[in-house]
Amino acid sequence: MSGRLWGVGLGPGDPELVTVKAARLIGAADVIAFHSARHGRSIARSVAAPYLTPGQVEEHLVYPLTTETTDHPGGYQGAMDDFYADCAARLAAHLDAGRDVVVLAEGDPLFYGSYMHMHKRLADRYPCEVVPGVTSVSAAAAVLGRPLCERDEILTVLPGTLPPDVLADRLRSTDAAAVMKLGRTFTGVREAFELAGRADEAWYVERATTDAQRTAPLADVDPDEVPYFSLALLPSPINNTFTPPAPRDTQDGSVTVVGLGPAGPEWMTPEVRAAIAGADDVIGYTTYVDRLPDRARQRKHGSDNRVESERAAFALDLARKGSAVVVVSSGDPGVFAMASAVTEVASAPEYAEVAVRVLPGMTAAQAVASRVGAPLGHDYCVLSLSDRLKPWDVIAQRLTAAAAADLAIAIYNPASKSRTWQVAATRDLLLEHRAPETPVVVGRDVGGPAEAITVTTLAELDPATVDMRCLLLIGSSQTRTVPRPAGPLVFTPRRYPATVRDTSPGAG
């Protein structure tokens, strides 16, 4: 009769985390097989050492290469396929002789483990059983003291060998995550967390449960000191005390108005991300709500961009029923956005008991300004050209006052499909107070895939090139444009020239 093949999981590294069944099988086996690199040191064997017994045959399965290059005609994969075939033949010889073989595996045998290559080649030919082990993911959460998942949250396990952009997409769309196979991939993995806007939530865990265990915020880790036996963990957002969710009134609920920034998740603050992660309901203009990943336990409510008051009342009503509600805006919620609408509706007596918070975000004006230098480096004002909520004569009066005061001006909502004449009217009005060569910056979709920055002058500003996706920055009399091979710099000096009083004879 042939022997029996056992794939035995040893857990994450602490010999005391080896299961009772695994310890018994290790001690009773005729043959103990384990893998190692060429240096010969086997982590699996060191974990199992307390359970080995005298007289056992040890099959040391040494990888032909790990990170090295190879001249094998099949390349790296070909060399590894030949190695696994040879290992399977060595173990088959013992099984054919009636010997029981235990193949040791760190963590769980069928979770990113080498044992599975033996399983695929031998399990259909010999009696076989797999003994599960504690995974490194579970161990990492345990040593951090941070739960992986709660309620309907989704945990995603990812290999660090994925390209950073692919990895970032997966991280954006999950609640919690574990990224395996670090070492040489660490720099790309950290880049992926940054692209996903979740680097501040992530933790690094190395050799969990062993004497060499190390944990740290992912952002603080030196890439040159990361071994293969480590992982990056994104714990449950509800329980991740590194960036805690916004506090809430458990009896009456709450409303938190947040700014997402002008574009993707990299523009979002950790405080805002934490508030969104801890919300029961997310409410906002559909375009902005759709920026956020779907979460199984979270309800998303998108609506038209012209129902701000109704949206605010809906959020407050949900909060009165005990829900933690987040209302999202692009940019900063206090700049022509939802903070004003929510606080206005919340001032009604029926909402007096509902807690309302506002969390700031990067404004579109500052985002556009950053692309060219510092056009808003001195005093400036912010105006909207939309006449949906205020008449044009008020807008014109304010533009005139700002121009007369020599303020730089950031102009939101310059045009739309139904508003096509305001940009030209604004240009002509400002030219009554500003020189034709006054610098103008037109920013379109800053931070997004269609980003475009145009530096022109007030006299040459073409209204036909401006729409609702644009923001205009109009310089003051002191704003300068400096042409450079790397692109123009636009800045307004912090020092403003003093007015010199004419004291000559006859001066008034």
Across the beta sheet with 480-482, the strand order is: 373-374, 489-491, 480-482
SS3 content of the chain, % helix, strand, coil (to 5): 30, 25, 45
Q: CA-CA distance, 40 to 37, in Å (whole number)?
A: 6
pLDDT of residue 500: 40
Q: CA-CA distance, 199 to 449, in Å (whole number)?
A: 22
Long-range contacts of the stretch 212-215 (C-beta < 8 A, 24+): 213/143, 215/143, 215/144
Q: Which residue type does 415 have? A: A
Q: CA-CA distance, 205 to 225, in Å (whole number)?
A: 12
Q: CA-CA distance, 26 to 100, in Å (whole number)?
A: 10
pLDDT of residue 397: 95
Furthest CA-CA distance within the chain: 123
Q: CA-CA distance, 24 to 29, in Å (whole number)?
A: 9
Cβ atoms of 106 and 10 closer than 8 Å: yes
Architecture of domain 137-234: 2-Layer Sandwich (3.30)
Q: Which residue type does 9 have? A: G
Structure tokens at 41: 């040191």
Q: How far is CA 342 from the centre of its chain?
A: 27
Same-fold call for 5-133 versus 137-234? no
Q: Which residue type does 49 have? A: A
Exposed e or buried b for every residue in 452-481, given b needs 16+ CB within 10 A?
eebbeebeebebeebeeebbbbbbbebbeb
CATH number of 254-359: 3.40.1010.10
Residue found under tokens 């991939």: 185
Cβ atoms of 23 and 47 closer than 8 Å: no
Q: Which residue type does 320 have? A: R
pLDDT of residue 238: 65
Cβ atoms of 255 and 342 closer than 8 Å: yes
3-class secondary structure, 264: coil
pLDDT of residue 296: 61
Structure tokens at 217: 């915020």
β-pair type (176-180, 155-159) = parallel
Q: CA-CA distance, 467 to 487, in Å (whole number)?
A: 24
Nearest to 359 by CA among 254, 236, 449, 249: 254
Across the beta sheet with 281-285, the strand order is: 299-303, 281-285, 324-329, 254-259, 355-359
Q: What is 489-504 written as a DSSP string? A: EEE--S--PPPPP--S
Q: CA-CA distance, 470 to 423, in Å (whole number)?
A: 11
Measuring CA to CA, how many Å separate 359 from each of 268, 321, 330, 428?
11, 22, 12, 37
Q: Which residues contact 365 (CB under 8 A, 6 or more apart)?
A: 335, 376, 382, 410, 412, 471, 473
In this structure, is the dihedral angle defined by the CA atoms of residues 293, 359, 297 and 167, taken in order, positive or negative? positive
Q: What is 4-35 written as a DSSP string? A: -EEEEE-BSS-GGGS-HHHHHHHHH-SEEEEE
pLDDT tens digits, the chain, 508 residues: what are they? 899 999 999 999 999 999 999 999 999 999 999 999 888 899 999 999 999 999 999 999 999 877 677 888 888 889 999 999 999 999 999 999 999 999 999 999 999 988 999 999 999 999 999 999 999 999 999 999 888 888 778 999 999 999 999 999 999 889 899 999 899 999 999 999 999 888 888 999 999 999 999 999 998 999 999 998 899 999 987 655 444 344 444 446 899 999 999 887 778 888 898 888 888 899 999 989 988 877 767 889 998 877 889 999 999 999 999 999 999 999 999 999 999 999 999 999 999 999 999 999 999 999 999 999 999 999 999 999 988 888 999 999 999 999 999 999 999 999 888 788 999 999 999 999 999 999 999 999 998 888 999 999 999 999 999 988 899 999 999 999 999 998 899 999 998 887 644 444 444 4
Total number of residues shown for the chain: 508
Q: Where are the domains of the chain?
A: 5-133, 137-234, 254-359, 365-491
Architecture of domain 365-491: 2-Layer Sandwich (3.30)
Q: CA-CA distance, 156 to 235, in Å (whole number)?
A: 11
Residue found under tokens 């940054």: 194
Say which CATH class 5-133 falls into.
alpha beta
pLDDT of residue 242: 41
Q: CA-CA distance, 255 to 278, in Å (whole number)?
A: 12
Measuring CA to CA, how many Å separate 15 from each of 31, 112, 133, 180?
19, 20, 12, 21
Structure tokens at 383: 């105006």
3-class secondary structure, 483: coil
Cβ atoms of 482 and 488 closer than 8 Å: yes
Measuring CA to CA, how many Å separate 368 from each of 110, 251, 285, 447, 473?
50, 42, 22, 9, 8
